[in-house]
Structure 1
């Protein structure tokens, strides 16, 4: 009794495996590059460190923050004693997993040293996280002070874009309050994201984002995209004429809808796709087995 194989079920089976493996690869490849440098801010004054006390305190600070980034997306601490006291914090974007947060934060100490050297204060902002530290006595700036802004080079005035952008930005101002410091949504191909520093209260967060929105509207005008970073919050918006890529937005909602957290939406989509994939796999497997049985009967 010989074994024969029908080419059609086998082809479908192999095609399905290829499609499913490509789906996994594309998902990984399309993830946002959260470790891209956005900007760096370095104090002009450097510290003298004849005894190595500052270096030791700073190293301890970095070590603590990196280890904490495996557990939380925001952490603030102080290390050192007397004149060597250093306060530092890190924060990851609200839609990053703990693993991605750690991967993002773990490279910041070395990057801060490379970009700023032994300064008494430094801030390094990546696309997915940032870290800052200040030696005791460093003059603090206002939480509403603009640190950095960038606007897209393409202008699309007269297309109705600014009205759509302003509509969804107004939703962002409310969303960060209801979302307790982080919110992202999409409206008519405009994707927006806002986040406040982890220790900022809801009311102050809403006010900070409101100011950031106003600055974005003035500074960027009809630019297709913009990012505005204040001391205590930041916002970004992007317009996608052909529709927002799924990798760029973890949530889809309209200005009239309630807050939808991106991670829950992503999990729901993953469950649906995963369930469909399993069903498809079982169907093709049964077809394959049935073909083998028929050949055996012959």
Structure 2
């Protein structure tokens, strides 16, 4: 975490985030966009907004030659079409605001992810950029917690790589009569099972480096998303366990 990571010196309450505030974004500023490519990016984003909510995912391209641009948009597998539509619309809007005249950009939300690039990334494992949200509070019984977390993430990772599950795995594990652990993993649906497994494995490995013994963590990569909490956060929500609530997080970004 030392030389490779830097703190974005701010703390935030996740429960207070507004809809169009992303979890993070990356703009490759070493790029220049001409008029034709800019037009193609606009067309591509409109296509992603239109098509992604139909089944929660789309990967496509637009244009020819040096002005061809590739794009992907995907919603978290447990959210409904309405939330997916709203999230993709926000993502397309904000990526244009935050990454103007950039030909390689990506943006993460809690409910969705969107990216585009002039290089064909479809089907390729990408773990170069990553963001970790780390709960500032420690668990009270690390030994039991880590054992349960390891078993749960192994289970949902196995689910995610099954083609029928479209890259999604989620589940829960009882830590005590009053405390439940919830976890979710998801790969972008363009990845083959082996690449999906590698991405999730890398993200879970990051838990020990950046989130050891913490009450919650989420890892955001361009190819996968992994999260665990001590409160219900995926749908359908567990109505039997609403006592725990989101806490304060530190955000770590690399590179």
Corresponding position: 1:45 with 2:33: no
Counterpart CA distance in 1 for 2:173 and 2:221 is: 24
Counterpart CA distance in 2 for 1:137 and 1:96 is: 28
**For residues 68-104 of structure 1, what are the alpha-carbon distances to aligned partners after superposition, in whole Å with 9 as ceiling and x for unaligned?**
0231211111112222111111011001222221111
Corresponding position: 1:153 with 2:136: yes
Give how far 1:229 is off.
1.9
CA distance 1:146–1:53, change in 2 (3 Å)? closer
Counterpart CA distance in 1 for 2:48 and 2:170 is: 26
- Tell me if structure 2 keeps the 8 A contact 1:69–1:98: no
Q: Which runs of 4+ in 1 moved over 6 A?
A: none
**For residues 146-178 of structure 1, what are the alpha-carbon distances to aligned partners after superposition, in whole Å with 9 as ceiling and x for unaligned?**
511121110125353222222211212212123
Normalising by structure 1, we get a TM-score of 0.65
CA distance 1:196–1:47, change in 2 (3 Å)? same
- Tell me if structure 1 keeps the 8 A contact 2:78–2:234: no
**Which position in structure 1 is the counterpart of 2:73?**
90
Normalising by structure 2, we get a TM-score of 0.75
CA distance 1:93–1:186, change in 2 (3 Å)? same
Select the structure that is richer in strand: 2
1:185 aligned residue (165, 171, 192): 171
1:64 aligned residue (32, 36, 47): 47
Give how far 1:180 is off.
3.6
For the pair shown, the structure with the greater C-alpha radius of gyration is 1
Counterpart CA distance in 2 for 1:235 and 1:154 is: 19
**Which position in structure 2 is the counterpart of 1:287?**
none
- Tell me if structure 1 keeps the 8 A contact 2:79–2:111: yes
Give how far 1:48 is off.
4.2
Give how far 1:142 is off.
5.1
- Tell me if structure 2 keeps the 8 A contact 1:181–1:198: yes
CA distance 1:142–1:94, change in 2 (3 Å)? closer
Structure 1 residue ranges without an equivalent (≥5): 1-29, 253-298
- Tell me if structure 2 keeps the 8 A contact 1:197–1:232: yes
**Which position in structure 1 is the counterpart of 2:249?**
none
Secondary structure of the residue that 1:106 maps to in structure 2? helix
- Tell me if structure 2 keeps the 8 A contact 1:34–1:128: no
- Tell me if structure 2 keeps the 8 A contact 1:39–1:124: yes
1:104 aligned residue (67, 87, 93): 87
CA distance 1:36–1:110, change in 2 (3 Å)? closer
- Tell me if structure 1 keeps the 8 A contact 2:167–2:187: yes
**Which position in structure 1 is the counterpart of 2:152?**
168
**For residues 19-65 of structure 1, what are the alpha-carbon distances to aligned partners after superposition, in whole Å with 9 as ceiling and x for unaligned?**
xxxxxxxxxxx9x977551110110124242xx21221111101111
**Which position in structure 1 is the counterpart of 2:199?**
208
Select the structure that is richer in helix: 1
Greater relative contact order (Cα < 8 A, sep 6+): 2
The alignment yields a C-alpha RMSD, in angstroms, of: 2.6
Give how far 1:186 is off.
0.8
Range with bigger deviation, 124-133 or 37-46 = 37-46
